[in-house]
């Protein structure tokens, strides 16, 4: 099993110094989300994408992250951005407070099944009915190098697809079918899906999965 306290320390120390590389497709977002929408960048890190959205004209963007060190770095690098440290869900916002949310390479940093479920459920709560979730993450990779990394983690990992990088960071690649199932159970309907190659923070290239999903109406 992965030690939650060890994970927390990683993102307050070594992990807080990483340069993130997971790219945003602004055109894809613009097809679903207007510039005046209330947008939450969940797991914003040091505000890289929050800042890009603001520069592109999205005027009501807020970023949140569980790492106090990353949020402090973001405030120093991007003065004036709305960046907030929230140690864990629930966030201090009412139900349906946002029109859209970004979840970019966040689940890969949350290897535990329960913690992933809490993250997705919190986004379902925070998005209004009809709101848009733009999720981009790394699915299970098929090459032998990645399969070897997954196998090496089997003695201690909760879920297949988990692995450790040399600096101590623990990450998890997603089972796409399981991810779609979890979104569906929370009332999301996938509207668009894409795959493309992207760089990783440890200098590799992987295929990513982008999902744009709409939150359904509240159930009676």
Q: Is the pLDDT of residue 94 over 90?
A: yes
Q: What is the mean pLDDT of residues 132-141?
A: 98
pLDDT on residue 1: 55
Confidence of residue 3 (pLDDT cuts 50, 70, 90): confident
pTM above threshold 0.75? yes
What pLDDT score does 51 carry? 98
Whether the pLDDT of residue 63 is over 80: the answer is yes
Domain 4-215 has CATH 3.40.50.2300: no
Q: What is the mean pLDDT of residues 193-210?
A: 94
Decide: helix, strand or coil at residue 185: helix
Domain residue extents for the chain:
4-215
Q: 10 Å Cβ neighbour count for 101?
A: 23
For the cut 70, the answer to whether the pLDDT of residue 219 exceeds it is no
What pLDDT does 220 receive?
A: 39
pLDDT (tens digit, 9 = 90+) per residue, 95-105?
999 999 999 99
Which residues have CB under 8 Å from 97's CB, separation 6+? 38, 40, 126, 128
pLDDT, one tens digit per residue, over 6-40 is 999 999 999 999 999 999 999 999 999 999 999 99
Nearest residue to 65 (alpha-carbon basis) of 42, 91, 97, 49:
42
Distance (Å) of CA 85 to CA 15, 46, 67, 73, 220: 16, 11, 7, 11, 33
With a CB cutoff of 8 Å and minimum separation 6, the contacts of 220 are none
* Cα Rg of the chain (Å, integer): 17
What's the chain's average pLDDT? Answer: 96
pLDDT at 218 over 70: yes
Residue 150 has pLDDT above 70, yes or no: yes
Distance (Å, rounded) from C-alpha 104 to C-alpha 120? Answer: 12
pLDDT tens for each residue of 169-198: 999 999 999 999 999 999 999 999 999 999
Question: Which band of pLDDT confidence, cut at 50, 70 and 90, is reported for residue 61?
Answer: very high
The tokens of 51 are what?
């800042």
Q: How far is CA 45 from CA 12, 103, 119, 152, 215, in A?
A: 11, 11, 15, 28, 24
């Amino acid at each position: 099993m992965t030690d939650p306290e060890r994970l927390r320390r990683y993102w307050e120390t070594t992990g807080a110094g990483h340069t993130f590389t997971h790219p945003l497709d602004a055109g894809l977002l613009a097809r679903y989300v207007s510039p005046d929408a209330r947008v939450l960048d969940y797991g914003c890190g040091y505000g890289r994408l929050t800042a890009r959205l603001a520069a592109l004209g999205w005027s009501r963007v807020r970023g949140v992250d569980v790492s106090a060190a990353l949020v402090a770095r973001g405030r120093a690098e991007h003065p004036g951005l709305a960046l907030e440290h929230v140690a864990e869900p629930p966030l201090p916002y009412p139900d349906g407070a946002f029109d859209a949310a970004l979840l970019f390479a966040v689940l890969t940093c949350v290897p535990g099944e329960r913690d992933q479920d809490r993250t997705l459920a919190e986004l379902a709560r925070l998005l209004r009915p009809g709101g848009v979730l733009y999720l981009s993450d790394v699915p299970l990779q098929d090459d032998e190098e990645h399969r070897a990394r997954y196998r090496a983690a089997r003695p201690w990992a909760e879920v297949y697809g988990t692995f450790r990088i040399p600096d101590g960071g623990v990450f998890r690649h997603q089972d796409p079918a399981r991810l779609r199932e979890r979104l569906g159970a929370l009332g999301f309907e996938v509207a668009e899906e894409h795959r493309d190659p992207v760089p990783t923070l440890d200098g590799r290239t992987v295929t990513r999965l982008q999902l744009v999903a709409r939150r359904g109406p509240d159930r009676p």
